[in-house]
Amino acid sequence: MESPPSILTVNELLASLAAMGGFVAGSVVMLAIRWQANSEARATAVRPAETLPSGVASVLAVLPSSAVVLDREDRVLRASSAARAFGLVRGDSLMAAELLALARKVRRDGEIRESEIETAGREFGQETTTFAVRVAPLGAHGQVLVLAEDQTERQRVEAVRRDFVANVSHELKTPVGALSLLAETVQGAADEPDAVKRFAGRMQHEASRLTYLVQDLITLSRIQGGEPIPAPGPVRIDEAVHDAIDRCNTKASAKDITLAAGGAEDLVAWGDDELLVTALRNLIDNAIAYSPERTRVVVSARVTRGAIEVSVSDQGIGIPESAQERIFERFFRVDPARSRATGGTGLGLAIVKHVAVAHGGEVSVWSKEGSGSTFTLRLPAFEDGQAVDASSTTNPLEAAK
């Protein structure tokens, strides 16, 4: 028979197992401690300041401009919705290379930098966007604050203002200079009655041109502020159309152009009588100026979609599609040489647009080169002592028919 294992051998085995278990447990604990320490070290090394300085997040939330905070690795820690909407930020990356370059310079030397950049449109054919940018260090952990303010609309308005001042100066200088020169000529030709008569007629023409320009500027100044009409009232469209046609008959007769009125009768709009006549006169004048001789200009009215529409159609040269969005700008001319030859001020369609807006309406254009143009003035109707909402699909004037 075999003898049982000795007590000493069993004890030794148990001791060995206990020692081995303790070693494994200790190793696991040490590995866990080391892993945690390494994790904290990596977090400290790579992301030293994920938390923004106190109060910065609240300030960024109310800034109107695009705001971006970058960490030391150029990753985006915080970006405003405007920055993402403009495409400056995508995910956690700043997409504008110029801004990244500025941010790195600021991080390196700590100096605040300002610049102006342009970014391409997010879609093909979309216009570029211009930003005024300011980049500054934020805190002591390599963070950088980028502020970008959209300047596109401001630059457009500034360009329009410069063009307006330049055009007004030019338009005023031309007739004033001509009057001065003609006055000197008349003075020198005092003994020549025929010459005096000819030059006096030319002076009258230039004086009329200057008068029209001043009147248009006054009218435009009166209505372009977007203020409501002081004393609106019912305006009979038939009378307004005939009044505008009467004021344009002389110009039309000079080119043997027929002016005709048609469409629905007895329509009543809500607004200012003189302003509406002025708008219609400008549309008819414009149609006459750009129509060949012995053609027709038709003014028609109708009720549609809860509003009154007055259209002026011609058989003229038409407007290029590329210029149709700008024709209502002050002094914009599709063909400057031809426009000045017609004697226009370049303010007529701008006045029409502002008159329409002042009445709570709108003006639109359809045109095709070589086939003529149709300008449509849309106005609120007037019924039972009040204006009819132009957005309404049912018009009492139509329902009464």
Tens-place pLDDT, residues 66-120: 889 999 898 998 888 888 888 888 888 888 888 899 999 999 988 999 988 888 7
**Over the stretch 263-314, which tens digit does the pLDDT of each residue have?**
988 899 988 998 999 999 999 999 998 899 999 999 999 998 779 999 999 9
Residue with tokens 């210029």: 323
What per-residue confidence (pLDDT) applies to 219? 78
| Lowest-confidence pick of 248-257, 311-320, 336-345 | 336-345
> Taking 70 as the threshold, does the pLDDT of residue 38 lie above it?
no
> Taking 90 as the threshold, does the pLDDT of residue 184 lie above it?
no
| Lowest-confidence pick of 91-105, 169-183, 260-274, 352-366 | 169-183
> Taking 80 as the threshold, does the pLDDT of residue 254 lie above it?
yes
Mean pLDDT (whole number) for 215-244:
81
Dihedral, CA of residue 369, residue 372, residue 378 and residue 383, to nearest 10: -160
What per-residue confidence (pLDDT) applies to 300? 95
19 band by pLDDT with thresholds 50, 70 and 90: low
What per-residue confidence (pLDDT) applies to 45? 39
What is the C-alpha to C-alpha distance for residues 327 and 183, in angstroms, rounded to an integer? Answer: 35
| Lowest-confidence pick of 220-229, 317-326, 389-398 | 389-398
CB 83 within 8 A of CB 66: yes
Q: Residue type for 304, please?
A: T
What value does the mean pLDDT of the chain take?
A: 78
> Taking 50 as the threshold, does the pLDDT of residue 325 lie above it?
yes
212-218 contacts: CB < 8 A, separation 24 or more?
A: 212/345, 213/171, 213/172, 213/175, 213/345, 213/347, 216/345, 216/347, 216/348, 216/351, 217/168, 217/347
What per-residue confidence (pLDDT) applies to 401? 34
Query: Model-level pTM?
Result: 0.54
Residue 169 CA to its chain's centroid (Å): 25
What per-residue confidence (pLDDT) applies to 13? 53
DSSP H helical ranges for 150-293: 152-188, 193-223, 237-254, 273-289
What per-residue confidence (pLDDT) applies to 389? 55
